[in-house]
Chains A and B, each alone.
Chain A
Amino acid sequence: MADTSPQDLKTVPLNDVHVALGGRMVPFGGYSLPVQYPTGIITEHKWTREHAGLFDVSHMGPSFLLLNEKSGDPDADHAAIAALVEPLICGDIKGLKPGQIRYTLLLNETGGALDDLMIARPADPDWAGSLYIVVNAGTKDADFARIAGASAGKATLNRADNCALLALQGPDAVAVLSSLIPEVAELGFMTYRSFPWNGTVLVIARSGYTGEDGFEILVEPEHAKAFWDALTLDGRVKPIGLGARDSLRLEAGLPLYGHDLDETISPTEAGLNFAVSKRRREAADFPGAARILKEYGGELSRVRVGLLVDGAPAREGAEILDASGAVIGKVTSGGFSPSLSRAIALGFVPPDHAAVGTKLSVSVRGRSQSAEVAALPFVPHRYYRKPV
């Protein structure tokens, strides 16, 4: 029950707002951020699933990569900037439509994940030849160095992590945000645009980490409080701490870098084949392609699964055992699902133990508890699908 001292940690632009709201400030990726507000994680979690939750994720690493010399032809300039980052990742960036966001992975030479990230092509042709890139907090310095290194002399990486990055998530998110900026309702899932708002420009993506419809909004630090206040004035919005963000993403079956993903784990092992784009697969031109394509063809020693756990939560590091009691893998993140009122976990097991319904067990404090492989996500995604 050690109290965490927030000293020596970086603060986010809205630090004083969180403290005034009674947020319990703890370290997240080197920043002091609220793990919960006085309402508590379960209430905050359920509010997000039912209404709209507002999260401060300013510890993350938003950035813009800009071509040094543009030709003036938007498609050619986009192709040129895509060619600079594609050697680092497994996603098709060249093929992004204007405004489209892609979830992809930064890989090492053996196909292990150095990070998972979002890369987006600007909607506005005037901004062709740039990319909006958002990486994880704990890895951002290394990621930025890697991206800047790969594009040295040809493009410039501008960090935007002095800004506030806010996430508005939940079924009411679109109604709330479109009451301030009506055009956001037209954004498709995994697209983004810039919108003027009260004398500043907001970079708004229809994306998130909860499984719900919602938005992630980049706002200049001096305008962050006004924007936060405008959102929280709406009765459908409550501030939500990063504790509920973790329980929401766990229910949504989404991996957390440093836990369910690390530099030994490939996208295929992590169940992220969708992030290995077809064009890149066919060209086999990404780091670790030899290993990943072999795994893609079925030669796998472990895969990420969801587990429904009976009894106490099985936390990260808990051993997973087969029916005979042999250790076959480990939990990489686990906890309590407020939506399902039970313990759930993510972990890695050999493929022959990965079928949905397979009876396994987990070891918690030296005792074995029943667990069953479950389909992911645990709670269905409710992303916005644009009517066609």
Chain B
Amino acid sequence: MTIKFTQDHEYIRIEGQTGIVGITAYAQEQLGDIVFVELPAIGKTVKKGDETAVVESVKAASEIYAPVGGTIEATNEALGAEPAMVNQDPLGTGWMYQIHIEDPSELDGLMDEAAYADFIK
């Protein structure tokens, strides 16, 4: 299993042709308490960098961008009732959506764990 990171603090966990997308532990800490998550429609096709979700903290709304292009296959409906899972377990139960990766070469420009750890220092 591979995990990659964007400069906008999204992660994508790659399992074959599928990616699980969410925001990093660093991002959720910066945002503070998450109170609402707007998720994309299943079946929607997105390009790399498109706005795909919105997380609302008490203070403000922040856009979540697609780390790669592809088709939305599933979303984490549990966040509707419990958006705070993004704070509690951002890389686990706080995932946002699953995307079918259109072009795996788009992953090449993303950071690996070590590079991201360096990036947020």
Instruction: Answer whether residue B112 sits at the interface, using C-beta atoms and an 8 A cutoff.
Output: no
Interface size on B, as a range, is: 10 to 19
Contact B30 A312 (CB under 8 A): no
Collect the chain B residues with CB atoms within 8 Å of residue A36's CB.
32
Q: Which of B9, B36, B59, B87 is in CB contact (< 8 Å) with A35? A: B59
**Which residue of the partner chain, among B32, B33, B38, B58, contacts A312 with CB atoms under 8 Å?**
B38
A168 within 8 A of B: no
A245 to chain B, nearest CB (A): 11
Give the chain B neighbours of A40 by CB distance below 8 A: 32-33, 87
- Mark out the residues of chain B between 15 and 47 whose CB falls within 8 Å of any chain A CB in the assembled complex: 27, 30-33, 35-36, 38
A residues near B1, Cβ cutoff 8 Å: none
Q: What 1/0 mask marks residues of chain A from 234 to 266 whose CB sits below 8 Å from any chain B CB?
A: 000000000100110000000000000000000
Of the candidates A3, A42, A312, which one forms a contact with B56 in the assembled complex, judged by CB atoms under 8 Å apart? A312
Whether B93 sits at the interface, judged by CB under 8 Å, is no
A-B pairs under 8 A by CB, number? 51
**Complex Cα spacing A120 to B56, Å:** 40
Interface string of B50-65 (1 = CB under 8 A from A): 0000101111111000
The 8 A CB mask of A14-41 against B (1 = contact, 0 = none) is 0000000000100000000001100011
Contact present for B59 and A243 (CB under 8 Å):
yes
Contact B59 A41 (CB under 8 A): yes
A365 is an interface residue with CB less than 8 A from chain B: yes
Q: Compute how far the CA of A313 lies from the CA of B59 in the bound complex, rounded to whole angstroms.
A: 10
**Interface SS, B side:** mixed
A214 at the interface (CB under 8 A from B): no
Interface residues, chain A, CB within 8 Å of chain B?
Answer: 1, 3, 24, 35-36, 40-43, 45, 243, 246-247, 311-313, 315, 335-336, 338, 343, 365
Some 29 contacts from A to B, beta carbons below 8 A apart, are: A1-B27, A1-B30, A1-B62, A3-B30, A40-B33, A40-B87, A41-B32, A41-B33, A41-B59, A42-B33, A42-B35, A42-B58, A43-B33, A243-B32, A243-B59, A312-B38, A312-B54, A312-B56, A313-B35, A313-B56, A315-B61, A335-B59, A336-B35, A336-B36, A336-B56, A336-B58, A338-B58, A343-B36, A365-B61
15 more CB-based (< 8 A) A-B contacts, given A312-B61, A315-B61, A335-B58: A1-B9, A1-B31, A40-B87, A41-B33, A42-B35, A42-B58, A45-B58, A243-B32, A247-B58, A312-B36, A312-B56, A313-B36, A336-B36, A336-B58, A365-B61
Q: Point out residues on B near A: beta carbons under 8 Å.
A: 8-9, 27, 30-33, 35-36, 38, 54, 56-62, 87
